Amino acid sequence: MKVLKGQDILALGFMTFALFVGAGNIIFPPIVGLQSGPHVWMAALGFLITAVGLPVITVVALAKVGGGMDALSSPIGKVAGGLLAAVCYLSVGPLFATPRTATVSFEVGVAPLTGESPMALFLYSLVYFLVVLAVSMYPGKLLDTVGRFLAPLKIIALAALGIAAFMLPAGGIGEAQPAYVAAPFSQGFINGYLTMDTLGALVFGIVIVNAIRSRGVESPQLITRYAIIAGLIAGVGLALVYISLFRLGAGSHEIAAGASNGAAVLHAYVQHTFGSLGSGFLAVLIALACLVTAVGLTCACAEYFSQVLPLSYRTLVVILAAFSLLISNLGLTKLILFSIPVLTAIYPPCIVVVGLSFCKELWNSQVRILGPVMLVSLLFGMVDAIKGTALAGKLPEFLAHLPLSEQGLAWLVPSVVTLGLAVLCDRMLGKPREVLA
């Protein structure tokens, strides 16, 4: 029976970590640290739950069912499960996350040198997605290209930045913004959504499993074990990166007081601490981090859609890279503004499907439980999403005063109530009858 060597398991963990650490992971913690002030560690706790805890749990859940999101969502039916999977893949693929990797790496590393001209962004994103295209054409070699080469470079760069954040703080901690004074934990929790790591985990599950299989491992038990180890290694790495970036942001009040996003905070800190040499270092770090994530997302999306569309894997890689190139030229600010309500709506049902996958032995029929709870979480997640748009004034008054509504968690209480009612109905109905052929 084929097994992985210790160095292969470590490379797999590094690859998984490198797939996760992309644009959002690097730009959101510094701005949360800056804006939360003295409440930084309470905000960090909420952030770590959605940006580390949920993704690791998702990797474990997917490993248990063989890596595919379709197996996880099968109890809600083929059509609904396929729709959920398509929305997740498109969100973390060509619509939001993949284009964002290019715009973030451009704005942090290149724009300070070239200016934020549309032509500079186009030329940069063109070269960027040509590299993504070239690496994504050979998914079987991801463990070598990412796990053994690109990931260690990224880890060394992030470690240098993290150590500097603690050893060379830029200044003292400033005042917190009102939202963080009122509810630091829930603000951090919601900001953890924006990293898209849980959606990314739903997508990367199949990439991780395929990387294990590419080494000749066929045993389902071993695949599950290795995927869980890889998820845990990635989780520890992510937590260390986030904690250092929170510290960096919290101590940057004097040098980045008016910053509107984490990219500006990072640039201000590196420029202050390392000078122009640091700006070059940051540009390479961000480009590496974003490039690896873009490759992983492109591979995962092409892998999934090649199974549901009459198109080959390589054809889809070309289409996805071209579409991501097109969307990336909208710019970072527009991408983030458009993605927030969509992510706020689709995160709750994804959290539900992952969380309840660990409890399926507790009830008679998973269909009776999962369908209603996911539907309610989606509906109330959409309420949270609408509240953050120009349509907020059109919502009925009572929806603005739901429990935890001000924290952006209006979906939580209705989902728990629905779960309780669904479990009660499941107990009353008993085991479903087997249909005889």
**What domains are there in the chain, each with its CATH number?**
6-358 (1.20.1740.10), 360-436 (no CATH)
Map tokens 């996760």 to a residue.
20
**What CA–CA distance (Å, rounded) separates 327 from 338?**
12
Position 93 scores a pLDDT of: 81
Position 435 scores a pLDDT of: 47
DSSP states of 352-419: HHHHHHTTGGGSS-HHHHHHHHHHHHHHHHHHHHHHTSGGGGGS-GGGGGSTTGGGT-TTHHHHHHHH
Position 143 scores a pLDDT of: 59
Residue 382 has pLDDT above 90, yes or no: no
Position 127 scores a pLDDT of: 93
Q: pLDDT, tens digit, for every residue of 250-281?
A: 888 888 877 777 878 887 888 888 887 777 77
Q: pLDDT, tens digit, for every residue of 284-319?
A: 777 877 887 788 888 888 988 898 889 999 999 999
**What CA–CA distance (Å, rounded) separates 194 from 405?**
18
Q: pLDDT, tens digit, for every residue of 169-210?
A: 888 887 888 888 888 988 898 888 777 788 778 877 777 888
Position 22 scores a pLDDT of: 72
The two three-digit tokens of residue 368, written as one number: 């009776």
Could you give the angle at the alpha carbon of 288 between the alpha carbons of 284 and 293, nearest 5°?
155
Q: What is the pTM (predicted TM-score) of this model?
A: 0.77
239 alpha-carbon distance from chain centroid = 13
Position 434 scores a pLDDT of: 57
Instruction: Give, in order, the Cα–Cα distances in Å from 204 to each of 15, 20, 158, 161, 293.
Output: 11, 9, 21, 26, 10
**No. of helices (H) and no. of strands (E), the chain:** 20, 0
